[in-house]
Chains A and B, each alone.
Chain A
Amino acid sequence: MPVYAGRVTISGMPEAATAPLVEPRPPRKLYRSSDGRWLGGVARGLAGHLGLPVIWVRLVFVGLFMADGLGALLYAAFWFFVPLGVGGVGGQRPPSLVSTETSADGRRRLVARRPDKGQIVALLLMVVVAMVFVGNVNLGNGAKAYLWPVVLVGAGVALVWRQADNARRARWVEAGRQRRTLTLLRAVGGVLLVTAGVSGIFVLQGSAAHLGSILQAALAVLVGITLLAGPYLVRMTQDLSEERLMRIRAQERAEVAAHVHDSVLHTLTLIQRNAENASEVRRLARAQERDLRTWLYKPEGTGKDEADEPTHLADAVRRNAAEVEDKHGVPIEVVVVGDCPLDEGIGAQMQAAREAMVNAAKYGGEGGAVQVYAEVEGRKVFVSVRDRGPGFDLDSIPADRMGVRESIIGRMERNGGTARLRAVPDGGTEVELDMERAEKT
């Protein structure tokens, strides 16, 4: 019964600090926590995993440490085998999202704390604990002598491992801007500590008199290993980065291929089906062309998805033209010079221009493509829409036909602009729209 009840509590309210140690939730995987950690993130990860306050876990580790260093061994084992994760719960999510995601008790409390301060406190604590431990420990006289070297080695290893963790974490958050000197300092510090510890062990084994020759021998071995393994290591790193580059390229190519595959093949199928309907075929081909151009020539993240409302003139003109083109099956060629943000007046001008495009497509589309030209010159925005149709005389249009008068001329004038319609000498109509930009943009 208590077990059953406990399970319900866990799945119902994960925050319950009283949640027993039994039955971790199945989808959860144990990760070391990458943020708010003091050392390796083991305690924090475990706390998140078990639903315990992190301080409890830390105390348990310290307690175990006193038991002949068992805690340290355990900690090291966790550090070694458990992969670094986020918040001790989730998978490879960017840490910025995590604070809202995880609900383990210890988390939130520690997120607010500056991690660096915590680390200093942790280091000081560790030194104190280690000293107490060393003082208390009751080993054989011989063994006790090795203790300091072992502690040194441990500290060095911890330093280097943390560095490795940081490097991995930097990759997730793409924080390539990590200070290089610090990284180097840490690595060198770790290596020095380990070297000092190992040398200490050797010195203790022999005597101080042999220190020189031992150091020499160690140095010789190190140099030898570097000489032997160096080229391989360099080659391997190069190969790895090259491989990564290739993979990124392949991914990009696959993305392009997928896009082209889907949209182009889809369009081609539609064209085959509608082969006898010339205007539909033309419409499909134009739409596809436009899509492909947007996709190829627009840089990343500038309206490739066509989802959001345009905020600038050039976008708005192109969008309007594309929509009219799709609807009426008449090609519209757009030339835009300059760009500016949309304001109220320009917005109205865009609507008027759209109306003009619709008219041109409807009544002048047989003569060829409709030409749309938009230009921003200083504070003035000029749009011209021209077709090569049979032409059109405003005076001959009955007074009750409000389309042109209201939605183009009227709209422009209400917003402080002007609209002119005129017949082009060799056939066709041109609508010219002038508008001043608002004072504040």
Chain B
Amino acid sequence: MSDPTEGNAESVEPTGGAGERHVRVVLVDDHRMFRTGVQAEIGQTEQTGVEVVGEAADVDQAVTVITATRPEVVLLDVHLPGGGGVEVLRRCAPLMGDAERPVRFLALSVSDAAEDVIGVIRGGARGYVTKTITGSDLINSIFRVQEGDAVFSPRLAGFVLDAFASTDAPPVDEDLDRLTQREREVLRLIARGYAYKEIAKQLFISVKTVESHVSAVLRKLQLSNRHELTRWATARRLV
């Protein structure tokens, strides 16, 4: 998956400072100013290896642009006119499942509401970062998502821990609805602001192992019992 762009003439040209890394990205956000800002920050393809191939401001546009350009990563805002990020995810589901050239989504939002965040993750996004993220962190996250890894911001890690901790009732599917001790530890460290490398050092495991734990958590989050998560989100609102 490191070079999925073979056969695409315009993007095989070698990139300079960023080495052989190259990723095609579509920006979906209804604020033009924000798109411009992100574009300015990550869009110098020679240095960052990120090429912004399309932009969209609402759900319909997003689906059209994504289908037409087939990017590897979509930076997706949670709040969008026309149904929100979840709707984009729903309508692009076939593209996500494509075995050859899957389109992967990274949610990028200012939203603080747990149900927004959990909503896009359950919809199939590979990660969630807040808009306060720095340019270089964002670029790293984009590459990580491109490689099929999951990206958790501290806040998302907090939400997930909360969601899986506060369900007292026995889970319906034991394997799916429970985080292992290790996964919990990894999440906790993410919530505390540790980078993958730091987590690996802290737990005496390899970065690859950290990645696989995070991906496992993401899978559990996307597949686990909907009822409990909904109930959790509702309760959270009331707290």
* Contact surface of A with B, Cβ cutoff 8 Å: 293, 296-297, 299, 314, 331, 333, 335-339, 369, 371, 373, 375, 377, 384, 386, 424-426, 430
Contacts and interface: CB of A to CB of B under 8 A. Distances in A.
B112 A377 contact: no
A26 B229 CA distance: 62
A339 B198 contact: no
Contacts of B41: none
Given A337-B165, A339-B239, A373 B198 contact: no
Given A299-B237, A338-B162, A373 B191 contact: yes
Contact of B157 (A335, A338, A377): A335
A424 B189 CA distance: 12
A425 B196 CA distance: 12
Given A335-B158, A339-B239, A375-B188, A297 B197 contact: no
Interface residues of B, number: 24
B52 to A, nearest CB: 26
Interface string B149-166: 000001101100110011
Given A299-B238, A425-B198, A426-B197, A337 B112 contact: no
B37 interface: no
Which of B113, B158, B197 has its CB near the most chain A CB atoms (within 10 A)?
B158
Contacts of A331: 132
Given A371-B154, A426-B198, A377 B192 contact: no
Contact of A333 (B154, B238, B239): B154
Q: Nearest 7 pairs between A and B by C-beta?
A: A371-B193, A335-B158, A373-B192, A337-B161, A335-B191, A337-B162, A425-B201
Nearest to B201: A425
B202 interface: yes
Contacts of A425: 198, 201-202
B192 A336 contact: no
A371 B191 CA distance: 8
A338 B165 CA distance: 8
B112 A293 contact: yes
A420 to B, nearest CB: 13
A407 B154 CA distance: 27
11 contacts: A333-B155, A333-B193, A335-B157, A335-B191, A336-B158, A337-B161, A337-B162, A337-B191, A373-B191, A375-B191, A425-B202
